[in-house]
Amino acid sequence: MAEDRLSGNRIIEEAIAALHEQGGVQALDAVAEAFRKRISDNAELVIPVMQPETAVKSMRPGKGAGTNGLSDLRLLQMQSDDGKRWNVAFTSLEEASKGEKTTTVTIPMENVLRGAKDFKQEAGIAINPFGKAFLFSKELIEKTLAGERTAPLENKILFDIGDITKMDIECIVNAANSSLLGGGGVDGAIHRAAGKELLEECRELHGCKTGQAKITKGYNLKAKHIIHTVGPVYHGKESDAQLLAACYQNSLELARQNNIHSIAFPAISTGIYGYPKEEAATIALAVAAGWIATHKDYGMVIVFSCFDRETYDIYQKVLKENA
């Protein structure tokens, strides 16, 4: 049992490793999320301690030690380059063994993190300082415990040229067909990149009507979620525009219901479904701007993923014309 309480901390180590590799607010959010998950699993952390009678000895590269709420035990501390002092905690005994040999105790993760609110001189907790370190600041700990996002909320419309399946964003939108069972174009690319588990989840959704949207996990994508929407096949009728607008509107609404704050859209219907790109871009931009205007306090970053330069230029042209 005690082992589970530590071994499951691997998800924290993985999230920290991803933060080291990729950086960015999403990766930081993922670390906070991993801590929250482990708290709900009653996980523990390994804390290096010294008996009170032991001479105060610093951990490399730390300076000094302080008492910190945990009965009489002295916690080992370390100092970062900017002179800030940090308590030390490890996600596993293995991480602890990477440093100087010391006595350790395991303590419920929630108690360790809740203790941070009483820190006076300490900036926070240095997690795994001898491996892939994460300096968990007091402010970030408090946000994490409160279940708040670590990334600031903002409203923005952005444009990206390239493959939507590679994007580092919370959610990407798929221009699917009503079966939701995959197809060509961006749909095919998303299914290939996400892996076959996506198809399994899609089977459970029993299709989707034109203009509507459904959500799945992102599986092997960097994006945690995929919203599948079905654009209209272009016939040049008024209802085409209404259905295309509904795709964007319903996707944004579904994103909000799932606490998603960044989303990338492909140019829905403008490939196999034959919607003229400029008309489609006008609708997409109008819905996005309208949605942000009516949800100012929510904070949504909307990215239009343009597969090629031509699509990007069309969005920019429409943007200028409507400015």
For residue 89, the SS3 value is strand
Is 276 a binding residue for ligand AR6 by CB under 6 A? The answer is no
Least Cβ distance, residue 283 to ligand AR6 (angstroms): 13
Does 245 contact ligand AR6 by CB under 6 A? no
- Residue 262 binds ligand AR6 (CB under 6 A): no
Distance between CA atoms of residues 139 and 159, nearest Å: 32
Q: 24 Cβ partners below 8 Å, 6+ apart?
A: 168
Rule CB under 6 A: say whether 267 interacts with ligand AR6: yes
The C-alpha torsion from 277 through 282 and 283 to 284, rounded to 10°, is: 80
Helix residue ranges per DSSP H, 262-308: 277-294
Q: Which is nearer to ligand AR6, 134 or 273 (CB)?
A: 273
Exposure string over 1-16, b if 16+ CB within 10 A, otherwise e? eeeebbebbebbbebb
Residue 124 contacts ligand AR6 per CB under 6 A:
no
Stretch that binds ligand AR6, among 11-19, 47-55, 194-202, 263-271 (CB under 6 A): 263-271
Q: Please state, in angstroms and as integers, the Cα–Cα distance from residue 17 to each residue in 115, 273, 306, following that order.
A: 25, 41, 30
Stretch that binds ligand AR6, among 125-133, 137-145, 282-290, 304-312 (CB under 6 A): 304-312
C-alpha torsion 128→133→138→143, nearest 10:
-100
Three-state DSSP class for 176? Answer: strand
- Verify binding: residue 240, ligand AR6, rule CB under 6 A: no
**Distance between first and last Cα of the chain:** 61
Size of the site for ligand AR6 (CB under 6 A): 24
Q: Is 223 a residue that touches ligand AR6 (CB under 6 A)?
A: no
Using CB under 6 A, which residues numbered 154 to 183 contact ligand AR6?
A: 163-165, 175-177, 183
Among 123, 186, 244, 288, binds ligand AR6 (CB under 6 A): 186
Using CB under 6 A as the binding rule, whether residue 99 contacts ligand AR6 is answered as no
Q: Of 271, 287, 303, 315, which one interacts with ligand AR6 (CB under 6 A)? A: 271
Q: Which stretch binds ligand AR6 (CB under 6 A): 42-50, 93-101, 112-120, 262-270?
A: 262-270
Among 25, 272, 286, 319, binds ligand AR6 (CB under 6 A): 272
Q: What is the DSSP string of 217-258?
A: E-TTSSSSEEEEEEPPPP-S-HHHHHHHHHHHHHHHHHHHHT
Binding region for ligand AR6 (CB under 6 A): 163-165, 175-177, 183-187, 189, 231, 266-273, 305, 307, 311
